[in-house]
Chain A
Amino acid sequence: MALSRTEAQQRADEIAVFQRELDRLQHEQVLQLSEPQQQQVSSHHQQLLAIYRRQFDIDADHQSRQLSLGMRIASLFGALALAASVLFLFNQFWDLFSEPLQCTILIASSLGSFLLTVLVRRHDDTGYFSKMAAMLALSCLVLNTLLLGEMFNLTPSAHVLLAWAAYALLLAYYVDTRLLLGCGLALLMAYFSTRVSTWLDLYWLDGFEHPEHVLPAALLIFALPSWVSQQRYQGFASIYRLLGMLGLLIPIWLLSIWGQSSDLPWSTHTIEGFYRVVGFALSALLASLGVRRNWPVVINTSVIFFILFLFTQFFDWWWELLPAYLFFFLISLIAIAVLLVLRRLRGFQSRGQRP
């Protein structure tokens, strides 16, 4: 079965770990491989790594990993700069063209940037250049839609969010980039939030003033990688969970301080109290789920939100009653308590027990 770049990188990492541990075991005289055995393992690994480097341009050691991070940052800046360049290019020469030519240029820029992405991906083993091209393609399509809307005074529509989301997700899977996946999922949540508003007989743009409308889509996005495997794409499952959690916990936090935006038929005070409880319970539940399933992103995000809910609650209770130094001292005590709980959880996990 053909490997993906992610799987090749995983295997290379495992080879490096295995090699280090084997050296240690031999040094501690726990295990001794004969010379031919060592040579056989080593040449097999070297052969595999050479194939992976040739086919997928993987990071074979720590130094190349550091360089890869730098390349990733450079490609992100490059992509943003390229998108800005296209925007200003349009801006500079736009008035020189007639309307039919403007339309043609917009459509051609979308098609051209997409075909460029396809072309670059075929020849780019590293993936950095194809990610830049994919970012450019998304920017071109967004510009295409916005400028067509402006040229012909089109009424803004929620469906454009779905179109952008579909395109961002398609490009994300095509060139294997998490940034575009995040953009696509955020757009998808925004779109479904407007749909919920429409189903509730509200004006679609009002959906953004009702944080509850994001919750169903966020829940689906959080659960999706558990149903549809994302194993072939490195870090995609984490992005789904992260975006899903942000889509769940940010609206709940907003509702806990701004109950008027809720659809629930209760008093504002009751709604805010209800969402505070939900926020605490959900972040604790997600932290526990993260520990059980070994999802670091879920653990970290839920801990951050748990502290945020706690801080909001304490601010509400004590900010006006206590002097500032005492208030922040209490917050630091709470942070220490959270640290102790997490350390305990980590202890249970490393001993293979359930908390």
Chain B
Amino acid sequence: MKWQSRYFIWAGLGLIGLINLSSLSSVIYNRSGEPSSRVVLSEYELRPLKHSSFSDSSRISLILEWRTTADNPNTPYSHNTHMLSQQQIQRLGLSPKANCADNCRLPPSLAVFAVFALTDTVPVEPKKDALFYSNRSRLQLLDISLDQQDLRARYPDPQRYLILAAQAKPVNQYTGGLEVYLELSQNSINVPTQWQASLRPLGRCKSEPNQAPRYQIELSVGQRLEPWVSDVNVSHPCR
């Protein structure tokens, strides 16, 4: 069946073309025009993550570490997943079910936007040692909203405020309250090949307390709120 065979071939080639075209056009659109945010972060905010999904050898990607506001007593789920405060949960319109004696199902997750900024001080928490404070991320979650434009209007400076897409996921419900954690949509950030060589040696050195950050990275965020590394400056290689 020659015509059928030809149809299959064109369909296959078309599909491969379409998939790649849509991926690459979304990259072009994301990086077009002025970035929606462009901030310089240090080693403490962008930690090297050695094992990306497909490269187990020496390839480095970065994981964005952040923390919640000082008044939020909840401990983090992980470095890049934190519990939201009750105030933030209410702002998202999430509330526990009034009567959940028998059917305590959690509200659904929400696609949200979160705004972060670098702060100068790290709030003191009990039972943590000096290394914990000195090397801790200064990137703090400032606000959260369902509306990206609303956040941009309130935090207009793209050099200071980082707006990222995230997911607010209710994980537990208790009398009168909800536990909701916030997870960024983009967990790890790829380091382009030209900067891999300069960051790779740092993985062999140990981080010391009160040590100045060994590198700074300019992180840009585009139209689709997808981040990319736009510059890397290694100030203190292995000491």
Listed in ascending order, the chain A residues whose CB lies under 8 Å from chain B are 2, 87, 90-92, 94-95, 97-99, 102-103, 106-107, 110-111, 114, 118, 137, 141, 143-156, 159-160, 163, 166-167, 170-171, 173-174, 201-203, 205-206, 260, 266-269
What are some 7 contacts across the A-B interface (CB < 8 A)? A95-B58, A114-B16, A141-B16, A153-B188, A155-B226, A170-B12, A205-B109
Determine the chain B residues whose CB is within 8 A of the CB of A170 once the complex forms: 8, 11-12, 15
B55 in contact with A95 (CB, 8 Å): yes
What 3 pairs between A and B have smallest CB-CB spacing? A203-B109, A267-B102, A152-B27
Question: Could you say which residues of chain A place their CB within 8 Å of the CB of B12?
Answer: 114, 118, 137, 167, 170-171, 174
Closest to B1 in A: A2
Known: A154-B226, A173-B8. Is A202-B108 also a contact (CB below 8 A)?
A: yes
Closest to A151 in B: B190
Query: Residue of A at shortest CB range from B31?
Result: A152
* Residue B121 CB within 8 A of the other chain: no
**Are the CB atoms of B226 and A153 closer together than 8 Å?**
yes
Give every chain A residue within 8 A of B103 (Cβ-Cβ): 266-268
| Chain B residues engaging chain A, CB cutoff 8 angstroms | 1, 5, 8-9, 11-13, 15-16, 18-20, 22-24, 26-27, 30, 52-59, 61, 102-105, 108-111, 165, 167, 169, 185-186, 188-190, 192-194, 196, 224-228
From A97, A163, A267, A269, contact of B19 by CB (8 A): A163
* A117, closest chain B residue (CB): B12
For the complex, would chain B's binding face be called helix, strand, loop or mixed by DSSP majority?
A: mixed
Given contacts A114-B16, A155-B226, A203-B169, 8 further A-B contacts (CB under 8 A): A148-B24, A152-B23, A152-B228, A153-B190, A155-B185, A171-B12, A173-B8, A205-B109
Q: How far is the CA of A107 from the CA of B13 in the complex (A)?
A: 11
Q: Which residue of A lies closest to B229 (CB)?
A: A153
Given A154-B226, A171-B12, A203 and B102 contact (CB-CB distance below 8 Å):
no
What is the chain A residue whose CB lies nearest that of B168? A203
Report the minimum CB–CB distance from A139 to chain B (whole Å): 12
Kindly state the separation between the CA atoms of A91 and B109 in the bound complex, as whole angstroms. 35
Complex Cα–Cα for A267 and B19 (A): 43
- A contact patch SS: helix
Known: A2-B1, A268-B103. A110 touches B228 (CB 8 A): no
Least distance between A315 CB and chain B CB atoms (Å)? 22
Please state if B56 and A203 are interface contacts (CB–CB under 8 Å): no
Q: Hey, which chain B residues are within 8 Å of A173, CB to CB?
A: 8
Cross-chain contact B109 with A153 (CB below 8 angstroms): no
Minimum C-beta distance from A89 to chain B (A): 11
Q: A90-B54, A154-B27 are in contact. Are A260 and B108 (CB under 8 A)?
A: no
Residues of chain A within 8 A (CB-CB) of B111 are 203
CB <8 Å contact, B224 and A155: yes
- Whether A155 lies near B16 (C-beta < 8 A) is no
Q: Collect the chain A residues with CB atoms within 8 Å of residue B186's CB.
A: 153, 155
Which A residues are CB-close (under 8 A) to B22? Answer: 159
Which one of A145, A205, A260 lies within 8 Å of B23 (CB-CB)? A145
Residues of B within 8 A of A155 (CB): 165, 185-186, 224-226
Partner of B56, one of A91, A146, A148: A91
Shortest Cβ distance from residue B8 to the other chain A in the assembled complex, whole angstroms? 5
From B23, which residue of chain A is reached at the shortest CB distance?
A148
- Specify which chain A residues have a CB less than 8 angstroms from the CB of B165 in the assembled complex: 155
A160 to B227, CA, bound (A): 20
**Bound-complex Cα distance A179 to B58 (A):** 35
Q: In the complex, how many angstroms separate the beta carbon of B125 from the nearest chain A beta carbon?
A: 31
Chain A CB count within 10 A is highest, among B12, B61, B188, B227, for: B12
Please state if A99 and B20 are interface contacts (CB–CB under 8 Å): no
Question: What residues of B have a CB within 8 angstroms of the CB of A148 in the complex?
Answer: 20, 23-24
A102, B185: Cβ atoms under 8 Å? no
Question: What residues of chain A lie closer than 8 Å to B59, measured between beta carbons?
Answer: 94-95
Q: Which of B55, B108, B193 contacts A91 (CB 8 A)?
A: B55
- Quick one: given A90-B54, A111-B13, A203-B110, are A95 and B193 in contact (CB under 8 Å)? yes
